[in-house]
Structure 1
Amino acid sequence: MNNKNSLLCLILTTTALISSCSDSNADTVTETVTTSSQTDSFYDSLNADYDGYEFTFFNPTEQFNCYIRLDFEEQTGETLDDAVYERNSLIEDKLNCTITEFQFEGDTGWGTQQQSLCTHITQMVMAGDCDYDAAYLPVSFQPGVVTGGYLTDLYTIPELQFGEEWWDNVINDSLTINGKLYTASSPLHFMSLDLAWVLLFNQDMMDELAMEYPYDLVREGKWTLDKFNEYITGVANLNGDSSFTWDSNGSAVYGIAEHTGSPTAFIYSAGNQLLERDGESFKFVGNTERMYNTVDKLRSLFNVSSGNAYQSNAAMETQSGYLYAFSVDRALFITCELKATLELRDMNSTFGLLPLPKYDESQPDYITSVNHITAFLTIPVTQPDMSRAGTILNALTYESWKSVLPIYYDVSVSQKGLRNDDSIEMLDIVRSNRGVQFSEVFGITTELSTSIQTVVNSNQDTIASTIDAGIPKVEENLKKVLEAFE
């Protein structure tokens, strides 16, 4: 934020639903968010003066169409952009510092680009430099950036007030191993919000099919995999096409447009895990009847030959993308991440939002899976002033939670992306129980998860043997990660 006018502009008073993250059964509470200029007890003890220090973030230029900007030189007129600008201006004024963002393009190509982000930081640390005070890194693409000793254990910085409600405590707890946290999530950066898996459905198509919208099922705790299957069954229709093979000029209609990477999200949302915390260690818990049954249900849901599913991982950029298929009324449902609600703003038909279904009605809560490819907050070990970094980051996180997060949900997503009050209510459920599979973030179960996705997407009756074959590699990877966290 170099060369900006230091006068702070008022952020509009916004009412937001802020969900407690203290546990998976947290109740949603309503909080009135006041303007940032008002006196706040948080700031009573914030009396540091950093003499104009330039605090620099390392951040990707772009990641999967997510909203990831951390700074703006000036206001843009976009509500969310201006809220980020105001947040930084406030903290700059409070702490006498300057917030800047270095946007790194990296190499091109899926995976290669994300790895280059991590490599850039590891090379910087190996050279003994610290060009950036904090870095947002997609560590799942190169877990060695965590296990190789390049990052700081964030719990060693007391100024980072983990446990307070402005941090994503459920996610951060899951990323904690042996009492250490090297990468964290908070509403300072919105990628972990944008990459929350959800279901969208075409309300106009449901009207034509004389179906009841599933909103009440969600409210009553009855939105399950079996109910989802009931909605999907019988929807597929060739409409004169010769097969269900995708044809952009065809007319075939599918039950669901499925992102090929979504099965692991459904498995997690159905209350399954591959690894479970066991004291100071972890144990493998993926070979259960619940897991096998979940996968069998998903094989039926995502059956390609029956037309239940059209599978793709392309978005709107081609006429073969899963988003495109949904946008032109050729799929009743779509598996996607929350960011897709904005990518579908020009869709003519009305769509609704739902959480991913439970395994069955006895499951206590709906669980929202955050895609493990998210870029999380890290601090290089070469950071010369951990206290200063912690103070600035904690203040930015607090102010983002207080004044920017409500705008993200209530304006950017709800008003611009969603189309009815029912969907906005469903959004509150989605945001209340966000979690991430730590074993995917650190690369422990990545290979096995990919194999399980293949079982689902290819409709293979091999889940038990697939899991058994993957256990040795998981145990090997787990051992390496635990050693790195000692």
Structure 2
Amino acid sequence: MKKQISLILAVLIMLSITAASCGGNSGGSAGDTTAAISDIQETEAPAETNQKDTVLKKDFGGAEYKILAAAEQWKSQVTAEEENGEILNDAVFMRDRNIEEDYNVDLEYEVINGYYAGKETVRTKLHGSVMAGDAAYDLFTGNTAYLCERILDGLFMNQAGLDPLDFERPWYYNNVNKNITVSGKLFVSSGGFNFSNESESWCTIFNKEMLDSFGLESPYDKVYDGSWIFDEFTRMGAVASSDIDGDGKFTKEDRFGILMTQTEPFYALPYGFGRLITVLDEDGIPRLTGADERNVGIFDKLGEFKKDKTLYYSCETNPKDELISKFSAGQGLFVLYPLRIVEIPEMRESVDFGILPLPKYDEIQDGYYTLCWAAVAAIPLVVKDVEKSAVILEALNCYSYVDVIPQYTEIVLQRKLSRDDESAGTVKLLAEGISMDFGTLFNASLEPVLVFAYDLCTPGKYSSWWAKNEIKIETNLAKILEAISQLN
């Protein structure tokens, strides 16, 4: 600011001198110049806008706002009954209290425990609320894993037509919402309120000390220059792999480049490679990507990787515990797992580690993406007050983005002795890359193998499998789209 003022002063003085030397009279004077300088000195930088002040505020007169949530509270902190000193819990508690104060509403949660265990209970409650016209709930939140059936039941409102919701704002997961919109219809959306998406996103974790001991270059640099690709990931992993016990075989006693679970990484990596089951055409209609050259290459590459048992170790017992124990013991350079593993105290207190996105397929890929079974929010088709449902949903997303997600990020970045500042930027990239497409959302009705693709990760298999199943999958997609076209 001082430099800017000095520059402006210099310009004004030069203009004054120039005017005097030319003998002209434009009506200016030394007094005018002094006044201009005074105005500049009094000008201050505008205060930073609190994003919570940019969303619509309305007094709802103390009305109840009831949220039906299908969640595992230990895993997805949907609500908090009271402050207890835990960072995330208290942030969620204060988010709700602030919304209640700012909007004069009473937030009430009905939590059905378990994503799958509560499936039938949720179905019954939503059907009763909508079909019987009870309007018992103002909002529903849950995981996309079983929501496709509820969408096709016609239980949810089209959020794309509700003015209070602005899906261009930063508190929405854009790579989810834009990809599951069909012909301008969006029946479920994902935003800051569904911040459990951050912890469920697949990532790469690496042992910093081991990386240095092998003289390997910084993967952070590779992430930022766009060269963090799968070939680099496996090349670096191969450097770390070693038959420690010298028995001529790679077993659980040895050191591996990559530690992971048995099948799930082969579901997640294609999404990291930017592969989508469907993409939207110019009319906003989902179309299958099929067996194009890139998809075939992705599954062939993963098939070659799957065969190399010297490069990775698939944990056999309790995957989470075994991953942490082996990683802590220096038996792996990289770990592939959802980000929530770093929330576990034993992990944070282990070796000094960093966090990266999943590697890209190649440098041509436009960004870093990750698989996340996204949590979403839906407004029931029948509610007491549509505006109230939408306004408070926008507030829940915005307030969570501003006040809750930063607290979660701090938990992720905290280590035993320090904060991992190096990973702050890559964790942000990870969140930005959370994605889902229409084909993934409706995989149960379309073709589950397209998501649960472990068996497709075999060199040469994907092309023949697709040729055999294409007509069936195209027919299933047409049926789904026809059903959606009948919805409001």
Give the TM-score of the pair, scaled to structure 1. 0.80
- After superposition, residues 24-423 of structure 1 pair within 5 angstroms as 41-42=53-54, 46-48=57-59, 50-62=60-72, 66=75, 68-106=76-114, 112-113=116-117, 115-116=119-120, 118-124=122-128, 125-240=130-245, 247=252, 251-259=253-261, 260-280=263-283, 281-303=285-307, 305-310=309-314, 314-317=318-321, 319=322, 322-343=323-344, 345-365=347-367, 367-372=368-373, 374-409=374-409, 411-415=410-414, 419-423=419-423
- Counterpart CA distance in 1 for 2:217 and 2:47 is 34
The 8 Å contact of residues 70 and 143 in structure 2, kept in 1 or not, is answered as no
- Change in 2 beyond 3 A, CA 1:122/1:89: closer
Structure 1 unaligned regions, length at least 5: 1-30
SS across alignment from 2:453: helix
- Counterpart CA distance in 2 for 1:469 and 1:313 is 36
Return the offset for 1:76: 1.6
Return the offset for 1:206: 2.3
Return the offset for 1:146: 0.8
Which one-letter code corresponds to 1:452 in the other structure? A
The 8 Å contact of residues 55 and 100 in structure 1, kept in 2 or not, is answered as yes
Corresponding residue for residue 18 of structure 1: none
Return the offset for 1:304: 5.3
Return the offset for 1:161: 2.8
The 8 Å contact of residues 229 and 359 in structure 2, kept in 1 or not, is answered as yes
- Change in 2 beyond 3 A, CA 1:118/1:405: same
Return the offset for 1:323: 4.5
Corresponding residue for residue 38 of structure 2: none
Which one-letter code corresponds to 1:133 in the other structure? D
- Change in 2 beyond 3 A, CA 1:376/1:241: farther
- Counterpart CA distance in 2 for 1:326 and 1:294 is 27
Return the offset for 1:396: 2.3
Return the offset for 1:460: 5.2
- Change in 2 beyond 3 A, CA 1:237/1:127: farther
SS across alignment from 1:174: coil
SS across alignment from 2:169: coil
- Change in 2 beyond 3 A, CA 1:302/1:207: farther
- Change in 2 beyond 3 A, CA 1:244/1:377: farther
Q: Quote the sequence identity (%).
A: 25
- Counterpart CA distance in 1 for 2:47 and 2:428 is 16
Corresponding residue for residue 4 of structure 1: none
Which one-letter code corresponds to 2:105 in the other structure? C
SS across alignment from 1:207: helix
- After superposition, residues 425-436 of structure 1 pair within 5 angstroms as 425-436=425-436
Give CA-to-partner distance per residue, 1:270-310, whole Å, 9 cap, x none. Answer: 23222221133232223122222222222233335334342
SS across alignment from 2:117: helix
Corresponding residue for residue 10 of structure 1: none
The 8 Å contact of residues 269 and 358 in structure 2, kept in 1 or not, is answered as yes
Q: 431-440 or 85-94: which moved more? A: 431-440
SS across alignment from 1:188: helix
- Change in 2 beyond 3 A, CA 1:305/1:132: same
Corresponding residue for residue 464 of structure 2: 465
The 8 Å contact of residues 314 and 323 in structure 1, kept in 2 or not, is answered as no
Which one-letter code corresponds to 2:475 in the other structure? E
Which one-letter code corresponds to 2:57 in the other structure? L
- Counterpart CA distance in 1 for 2:118 and 2:468 is 29
The 8 Å contact of residues 203 and 358 in structure 2, kept in 1 or not, is answered as yes
Which one-letter code corresponds to 2:224 in the other structure? R
Give CA-to-partner distance per residue, 1:192-219, whole Å, 9 cap, x none. Answer: 2211221011223323433333222222
- Counterpart CA distance in 1 for 2:359 and 2:230 is 5
- Counterpart CA distance in 2 for 1:243 and 1:484 is 57
- Counterpart CA distance in 1 for 2:246 and 2:137 is 55
Corresponding residue for residue 4 of structure 2: none
Give CA-to-partner distance per residue, 1:229-269, whole Å, 9 cap, x none. Answer: 2112253333337686865xxx2222212232222332222
Cα RMSD of the aligned pairs, angstroms, is 2.9
- Counterpart CA distance in 1 for 2:391 and 2:159 is 12
- Change in 2 beyond 3 A, CA 1:400/1:171: same
Q: 340-349 or 87-96: which moved more? A: 340-349
The 8 Å contact of residues 153 and 182 in structure 1, kept in 2 or not, is answered as yes
Give CA-to-partner distance per residue, 1:386-421, whole Å, 9 cap, x none. Answer: 111112211222222222222222x22223699522
Return the offset for 1:187: 0.5
Q: 192-201 or 138-147: which moved more? A: 138-147
- Change in 2 beyond 3 A, CA 1:243/1:174: farther
Structure 2 unaligned regions, length at least 5: 1-45
SS across alignment from 1:431: helix
Q: May I ask how many residue pairs the two structures share in their alignment?
A: 434
Give CA-to-partner distance per residue, 1:354-385, whole Å, 9 cap, x none. Answer: 111122222232x222423x331112223222
Return the offset for 1:118: 4.4
Give the TM-score of the pair, scaled to structure 2. 0.80
- Change in 2 beyond 3 A, CA 1:359/1:295: same
The 8 Å contact of residues 243 and 250 in structure 2, kept in 1 or not, is answered as no
- Change in 2 beyond 3 A, CA 1:120/1:76: farther
Greater percentage in helix: 2
The 8 Å contact of residues 258 and 302 in structure 1, kept in 2 or not, is answered as no
Return the offset for 1:33: 7.6
- Counterpart CA distance in 2 for 1:133 and 1:152 is 11
- Change in 2 beyond 3 A, CA 1:377/1:416: farther
Give CA-to-partner distance per residue, 1:20-56, whole Å, 9 cap, x none. Answer: xxxxxxxxxxx998879xxx6436x5232x2322212
- Change in 2 beyond 3 A, CA 1:326/1:128: farther
- Counterpart CA distance in 2 for 1:191 and 1:127 is 31
Which one-letter code corresponds to 2:400 in the other structure? S
Which one-letter code corresponds to 1:364 in the other structure? D
Return the offset for 1:174: 1.1
Corresponding residue for residue 424 of structure 2: 424
